[in-house]
Amino acid sequence: ELGWDAQSGEYTLPDLPYAYDALSDVIDEQTMRIHHDKHHAGYVKNANAALKQLEAIRLGSGDSGLLQHWERSLSFNMGGHVNHTLFWTGMAPEGQGGGGQPVGNLANMIIRDFGSFKGFSDQFTGAASKVEGSGWGWLVYEPIARRLMVLQMQNQQDMMFAGAVPLLGVDVWEHAYYLKYQNRRADYVNAFMRIVNWGEISR
Ligand code: MN
Residue pair 25/94 in contact by the 8 Å Cβ criterion: yes
Say how many Å lie between the CA of residue 71 and the centre of ligand 1: 21
For the chain, list the strands marked E by DSSP. 4-5, 10-11, 135-142, 147-154, 165-171
Say how many Å lie between the CA of residue 95 and the centre of ligand 1: 24
In a structure prediction context, what are the per-residue pLDDT tens digits for the chain, which is 203 residues long? 699 999 999 999 999 999 999 999 999 999 999 999 999 999 999 999 999 999 999 999 999 999 999 999 999 999 999 999 999 999 999 999 999 999 999 999 999 999 999 999 999 999 999 999 999 999 999 999 999 999 999 999 999 999 999 999 999 999 999 999 999 999 999 999 999 999 999 99
Say how many Å lie between the CA of residue 171 and the centre of ligand 1: 6
CA triple 25-31-35, angle to 5 deg:
130
Q: Is 35 strand, coil or helix?
A: helix
Q: Output the pLDDT for position 5.
A: 96
Residue pair 200/185 in contact by the 8 Å Cβ criterion: no
Q: How many Å apart are CA 181 and CA 154, to the nearest integer?
A: 20
Say how many Å lie between the CA of residue 46 and the centre of ligand 1: 14
The count of other CB atoms within 10 Å of the CB of residue 106 is 20
Residue 83: name the closest of 40, 51, 123, 45 by CA.
40
Residue pair 98/92 in contact by the 8 Å Cβ criterion: yes
Residue 124: name the closest of 169, 183, 75 by CA.
169
The count of other CB atoms within 10 Å of the CB of residue 36 is 18
Residue pair 47/74 in contact by the 8 Å Cβ criterion: yes
Q: Output the pLDDT for position 202.
A: 97
Could you give the C-alpha distances from 190 to 66, 129, 140, 177, in angstroms and in order?
42, 9, 19, 12
Say how many Å lie between the CA of residue 175 and the centre of ligand 1: 6
Say how many Å lie between the CA of residue 80 and the centre of ligand 1: 7
Q: pTM score > 0.75 for this model? A: yes
Sign of CA dihedral 104, 18, 128, 139: positive
